[in-house]
């Protein structure tokens, strides 16, 4: 069952929400933008790198960090001046994903809403495809 998102979902290419690619909610975009200023990451050159690596309690773990520039084969998505970088191997697992920001009594942080995930752990930072 899909999660309800109470923040507008933005698509980098004007596609409808749910389209393939990476999407981000307005709330997550604001958190990324604030963190980029705090970390002195230039929006003209740098951006947020999203990725997947082996490990975690469900087999694959989400990776999220700032990078100074995209790599040669990265897919680059732009949302209102904020760029997301995704390497080709991670894109296999992340296409169609929505990056959201959740703030509640129990959790505060980024939430990966991933249609490619067949099973995820309780912490929400690992999954299996």
CATH of the domain at 96: 2.60.300.12
Would 110 be classed as within a structural domain? yes
Would 53 be classed as within a structural domain? yes
Convert the pLDDT of each residue in 82-108 to its tens digit.
999 999 999 999 999 999 999 888 888
Would 32 be classed as within a structural domain? yes
16 pLDDT higher than 50: no
pLDDT above 70: percentage of residues in the chain:
73
pLDDT the model gives residue 7: 61
Count of other CB atoms within 10 angstroms of residue 40:
8
Residue of 7 and 14 predicted with greater confidence: 7
Would 41 be classed as within a structural domain? yes
Would 67 be classed as within a structural domain? yes
- Quote the domain boundaries for residue 69: 9-128
66 pLDDT higher than 50: yes
- Specify the number of domains making up the chain: 1
Would 111 be classed as within a structural domain? yes
49, two tokens: 């790198």
As a residue count, the chain comes to: 129
pLDDT the model gives residue 106: 82
């Amino acid at each position: 069952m899909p999660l309800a998102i109470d923040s507008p979902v933005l698509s980098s290419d004007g596609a409808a929400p749910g389209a393939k690619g990476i999407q981000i909610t307005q709330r997550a975009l604001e958190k990324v933008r604030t963190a980029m200023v705090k970390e002195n990451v230039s929006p003209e050159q740098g951006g947020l790198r999203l990725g997947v690596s082996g490990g975690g309690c469900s087999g694959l773990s989400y990776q999220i960090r700032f990078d100074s520039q995209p790599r040669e084969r990265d897919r680059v998505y732009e949302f209102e001046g904020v760029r997301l970088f995704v390497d080709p191997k991670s894109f296999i697992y992340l296409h169609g994903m929505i990056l959201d920001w959740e703030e509640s009594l129990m959790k505060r942080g980024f939430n990966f809403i991933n249609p490619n995930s067949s099973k995820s752990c309780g912490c929400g930072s690992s999954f299996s495809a």
